[in-house]
Amino acid sequence: MNKVQNNRAWWLILPMLLLVAFSAIIPLMTVVNYSVQDVFDANTRFFTGTEWFKEMLNDPALQAAVLRQFAFSLTVLAIEVPLGIGIALIMPKRGWQASAVLILVTMPLLIPWNVVGSIWQIFTRGDIGLMGWSLRELGYGYNITASPVDAWATIILMDVWHWTPLIALLCYSGLRSIPDAYYQAARIDRASQWAVFRHIQLPKLTNVLVIGVLLRFMHSFMIYAEPFVLTGGGPGSSTTFLSQSLTTMAIGQQDLGPSAAFSLIYFLIILLVSWVFYTAIMNMQKDKKQEGA
């Protein structure tokens, strides 16, 4: 669509801008301000320059947390994206079953994140939880408070339970936009199921998948409440992700300077990775516009 050049459009944006500025720019300034100072109390502070940033970047505990965070995000993406596509492909397309399945599949997305943690805490406990108890009955010494492997596996399973529906719904919606004629033509062309998926369904899903991957990356990178409730970051610090490290540092230890520097680094990592995806989306839309022209 060719847009009209009109700077009065700023008036339409203004209310939104004021609100977002209030909730984003002012707090961010505070963070930047803290990140270059050492604050003792309300009246005593020193300018420290980039010292906090250097300290944070060289902190082995934080480096480990960043790696852990990437490992977690990539793992859940690797599981949730294919699984979500698969679910979308087998979801019923019409009738009451379609509505029922849709509602059931969406359910985990609308549960408060700490309740998700609680649900899985109850579900996996060795004494009262169905899963934990069953695994122990089967002879596996399942224990998320002692075994990092168990803790990791459980958190990933929880995340898959919690967020696969998002990918599935995005894909389901994308699949619904494919006209019947495409499937009919493919049948006449004697295409196999795999060929239909590869050449008709997957191309139609690329746009929604970029959105899905972007959202999933962002949210998994910010994960806080679910592992905090389920494992508290343990055993040790094996499931302590970035948000939890940051919260502990800022609220728990009141290390304002270092935590502010850490915040900015954290934010920049997400921005950088997301920017790559954003560019991809924009390029794809450019292609689409050319095609329409």
Partner 1 sequence: MAEIALKSLAHSYLPNPTKPGDYAIREMNHVWQQGGAYALLGPSGCGKSTLLNIISGLLEPSSGEVLFDGERVNSLPPEARNIAQVFQFPVVYDTMTVYDNLAFPLRNVKTPEDRVHERVMEVADALELTPHLKRKAKNLSADEKQKVSMGRGLVRDDVSAILFDEPLTVIDPQLKWKLRRKLKEIHQRFEITMVYVTHDQLEASTFADKIAVMYEGQVVQFGTPRELFEAPNHTFVGYFIGSPGMNFIDVSLRNGRVMAGETELHIGREIAKALQDVRTTNVKLGIRPEFIEVHDTAVEGSMAVDVEHVQDLGTYSILYLKLGETSLKARIEEEQDAPVGKAYLRFPNDRVGLYVDEFRVEVPHE
Partner 2 sequence: MTDSLIGTPDAVRKHAATTAARRRRKSRSALLKWRRRGLMAAYIVFVLLPIYWLLNMSFQSNTEILGGLTLWPENFTTEHYVKIFTNANWYMGYVNSITYVLMNMVISIAVALPAAYAFSRYQFIGDKHLFFWLLTNLMAPPAVFLLPYFQLYYTVGLFDTHIAVALAHCLFNIPLAVWILEGFMSSVPKEIDETAFIDGYSFPKFFVKIFIPMISSGIGVTLFFLFMFSWVELLLASTLTATNAQPIASVMTQTKGASGIDWGTLAAAGALTILPGIVVVYFVRNHIAKGFALGRT
Chain residues binding partner 1 by CB under 8 A are 179, 181-182, 184-185, 187-192, 195, 199-200, 203, 290-291
Angle at 42 between CA 41 and CA 44, to 5 degrees: 60
Cα separation, 77 vs 156, in Å, equals 10
**Of 50 and 173, which CB lies nearer to partner 2 in the complex structure?**
173
Other CB atoms closer than 10 Å to residue 208's CB: what's the count? 20
Is 234 a residue that touches partner 2 (CB under 8 A)?
no
CA-based torsion, 126, 132, 135, 140: positive or negative: negative
Pick from 43, 95, 103, 190: which binds partner 2 (CB under 8 A)? 103
Tell me the closest approach of the beta carbon of residue 180 to partner 2, in angstroms: 15
Residue 37's SS3 state is strand
Tell me the closest approach of the beta carbon of residue 210 to partner 2, in angstroms: 9
Pick from 115, 146, 153, 276: which binds partner 2 (CB under 8 A)? 115
Cα separation, 224 vs 193, in Å, equals 40
Q: Tokens for 56?
A: 């944070």
91, 101 Cβ separation under 8 angstroms: yes
65, 236 Cβ separation under 8 angstroms: no
Answer with the entry of partner 2, partner 1, none that 143 interacts with (C-beta below 5 to 8 A by kind): none
Is 188 a residue that touches partner 2 (CB under 8 A)?
no
Is 253 a residue that touches partner 2 (CB under 8 A)?
no
Answer with the entry of partner 1, partner 2, none that 189 interacts with (C-beta below 5 to 8 A by kind): partner 1
Site for partner 2 (CB under 8 A): how many residues? 94
Identify residues 201-220 at the interface with partner 2 (CB under 8 A).
Answer: 204, 207-208, 211, 218
Answer with the entry of partner 2, partner 1, none that 1 interacts with (C-beta below 5 to 8 A by kind): partner 2
Cα separation, 44 vs 40, in Å, equals 5
